[in-house]
Chain A
Amino acid sequence: MRNPYVPANAILSRKHIENTAKDLQTFEFIFEDKKQAENFDFICGQFAMVSIDGVGEAPFGIASSPLEKDFIQFTVKRYSKGILTNALYSLSEGEKLGIRGPFGNGYPMKELEGKNILIVGGGFALTTLRSVVKFVLHQANRAKYGKLTMLAAAREPCEMLYREDMAEWSKRNDIEVVQAIDKPAEGWDGQVGFAAEVLEKMTPDAKNTYTLICGPQIMIKTCINVLGKLNFTPDKIINSLEMKMKCGIGKCGRCNIGNKYICKDGPVFTYEQLLKLGAEY
């Protein structure tokens, strides 16, 4: 019997500050044991439990691409009350921690083949969507997917995530990147407005297109309204949810919304599925 509670040891190989507010960092890990690395076969949108012995464990969406075999990355927001995130931030490169996973269902990357993909990400919820972009843009994959469009929204420029990735993607002609902030700011040359407003202006074509959307609840709800107006059907709007988790494997009983466990049945749901979850969603 495999023990799903015991993490594999990993080494923090790189810390990278992602935004100028400095409360978002990408942590890159290498498994201590090569076999563990091979076993850690994931798809975009899955998450893992990251732990520091003596501090605890928390779930984080995987921000690197499944094709990046040498390491895995998580982008972590620092909260003053987040015990594990604060401990993570204070780790130095070369220090050890534990990783369990991958868990959850992930985005339907197979089903998305041959389809156009619209990505809408707000704030730091962009992490697993970055994994999708990296995966789709990989030369072995790009031809399998249709048009790739990405709207990255943040409140202020300093909260905009993955600046270097964005700059690189913006240079390419096989992805359209739109960056938006809520209010005008000095030196900002991207779009200005709430994500839903910018999305409405973009008038994406619903035909053969799936939307992957992550972000704060209010952003998701307003964007879904806009998508509805643009004839996107609920089965083609795909959302990733978050809840507090402990076990990651559908046993500890806290991450459910309705009868679905976010850790096991999700975190990725179509909007059609979410509508059925009822009052709690």
Chain B
Amino acid sequence: MVDLEKQLRAQAKKLLEDKAVDCVIGYENSDDPLMTTPCFITAPNEVDRLVLNCLCGNNLTKYLIGRKEKTAVVAKAWDVRSVAVLVKENQVKRENVIIIGVPSLRIVDQKKIIAHLNGKEVISVILKENAIEVQGDVFSEDLLIDDYLQAGCELRDDIDDSMFDIVIGEMPASKQNIDDDDLIKQLEAMSSEQRWEFFKKEFSKCIRCYACREACPLCYCKSCFVDQNFPAWFSKSTDLSDNMSFHIIRALHAAGRCTDCGACFRACPNDINLRVLNRKIAKDIKELFDSEPGLNPKEDLPLTSYKPDDPQDFIK
């Protein structure tokens, strides 16, 4: 990991010294030992602030939207795919961005660690080869990274080469699914009543802060449907039906575009399993259209393009 960090800093330094970019968006340490924080490096002598490790969760490509200056961004596999979608949707100019890809970097799910520790506060961490040592007031424990990986966040060996301007670390040899597809299978196996109970439990937690939307790189609409008051699509209350309307419409709006980066899930202050709808939709789209967003920038997005052999079974 230290090596990757060194490489990143060197690359960032070169980009800034050569004036190839105005800014490198990466991660630096925060006061929260379990999470880094985004940073905007604009001078070569600041590159040592950059860190790169399993605590680099945020999808930084959100910051590319609307940025005029030439920018380099540190991107994990699924973040790279976000850029591809944003370029496809004309939100980001590809030539304005230098993608510093970290295709093999995996991240831990802070929420899993907190749950494991039963809410005991972590005061510091030591990053090791395959583990992180978490230290609290009166405890210390080695946690294997593999046991706490964030669900979703797939490593891919099939992202188009053109999406990487700089590669830090190895390309993964194969597709690695760090996933709770089990949950999708479980959901699919549930009766509709059980499924309803599941979603009821999740979406009743929503306080309608819209952090999921603001964290999502694909939520860039100037005026979001949920903010429209006249006519309103549904109430702004936290009643279950209104919460559900919001999340279902948002999931459908991200359908065929979502790269399962987990930004919504990480941002949610109330730990709603926001990924599950997106994941299921992504699975269906893959089955129906044999398409996964952001893997190939030349390929059109499945739900905004038409092919003569698209399945038409739904027309009855």
Contacts and interface: CB of A to CB of B under 8 A. Distances in A.
**Do A and B come into direct contact in the complex, CB within 8 Å?**
yes
Nearest to A54: B230
Interface of B: 229-230
Nearest to A86: B230
A83 B229 CA distance: 9
Nearest to A84: B230
5 contacts: A55-B230, A56-B229, A56-B230, A83-B229, A83-B230
Contacts of B229: 56, 83
B222 to A, nearest CB: 12
B221 to A, nearest CB: 16
Interface of A: 55-56, 83
B234 to A, nearest CB: 15
B232 to A, nearest CB: 10
List the 4 closest pairs (A to B, CB-CB), nearest first: A83-B230, A55-B230, A56-B229, A56-B230
A83 B232 CA distance: 12
A223 B141 CA distance: 70
Contacts of A56: 229-230
A56 B229 CA distance: 9
A83 B227 CA distance: 14
B233 to A, nearest CB: 15
Nearest to A55: B230
A55 B230 CA distance: 7
A55 B232 CA distance: 10
Contacts of A83: 229-230
A170 to B, nearest CB: 41
Nearest to B230: A83
Contacts of B230: 55-56, 83
A186 B303 CA distance: 56
A246 to B, nearest CB: 12
A55 to B, nearest CB: 6
A214 to B, nearest CB: 28
A192 to B, nearest CB: 39
Nearest to A83: B230
A83 B228 CA distance: 11
A250 B124 CA distance: 44
